[in-house]
Amino acid sequence: MNAVVVIPARYASTRLPGKLILPEVKTVTGKYIIEHVYQNVKQAKRIHKVIVATDNQLIYDIVKGFGGEVEMTSVTHTSGTDRIAEVAGRLDADVIVNVQGDEPEANANMIDQVIEVLVEDKEAVMATLANMIKDAKELANSNVVKVVLDNCGYALYFSRSQIPFVRDDKDPIKVPGLTFLKHLGIYAYQRDFLLKYPKLPPSPLEDAEKLEQLRALSNGYKIKVAITNYTSRGIDTREDLTAFMERYKHD
């Protein structure tokens, strides 16, 4: 299978504008956030190449500056998936992997794992990864996307809320036999499906949760989810950014 990683990278962010190329991150860690993502992903063994997809000239120039491959895309895209679909239309590849541009701790092994999961499953058009949640604060955090699975490992639903909900005022983390899963921001797509994706009818669920993967579920497509020991934390807020730089300094 010929697999290509595409990293959607936009400048705008309601909570942390320009986060992918903040100079303070480069000062502390030696690299921009988008550079961390690119260099980490590049180490994956099952990929052909890595491309950053952006509509911003500053991001384009910085990626070029550190030697990365980058393509300019339309400014009209409303989601990262739409952006990578544009690039995928110009690629000769079987599998396209979407890695978020704000996940500087993305691990190359995660890339190889999500590709393997998709290639081995004949029913899924998408694959993604999840971690077990063991902390009550993380479970309650709406920035942490949760996922529940069926008995075959396919996603039933993704939500920013706690799913499943535990009744009777019990501590959900301590309920025997119950597992909570954190969704990681990485997807592998069959290229043919990805090209159809922007044309699928938007889902009210997608709009309510602001989770574009719900469009696939709402239209009857299967997403295979593998539970992994690897983890990655996205940079959504100033607190996330500070925590990442602190971890980097102490590693």
Angle between helix 33-41 and 108-120 (nearest 10) = 50
Model confidence at 236: pLDDT above 90: no
pLDDT digits (tens, 9 = 90+) for 66-119: 999 999 999 888 888 899 999 999 999 999 999 999 999 999 999 999 999 999
pLDDT of residue 70: 97
Residue 183 confidence (pLDDT) above 90? yes
- Pairing state of beta strands 146-149 and 155-159? antiparallel
The reported pTM is 0.92
Cross-strand pairs, 7? 52
Neighbours of 119 (CB within 10 A): 16
At residue 42, the 3 state secondary structure works out as coil
- CA 187 to chain CA centroid, Å, is 6
Largest Cα–Cα distance of the chain, in whole Å?
56
Which CATH number covers residue 181?
A: 3.90.550.10
Nearest to 201 by CA among 212, 192, 187: 212
Domain count, the chain: 1
Least confident among 91-105, 127-141, 164-178: 164-178
DSSP per-residue letters across 230-242: -------SHHHHH
Give pLDDT, residue 69.
97
Give the domain extent around 39: 3-250
Q: Tell whether the model's pLDDT for residue 1 goes beyond 90.
A: no
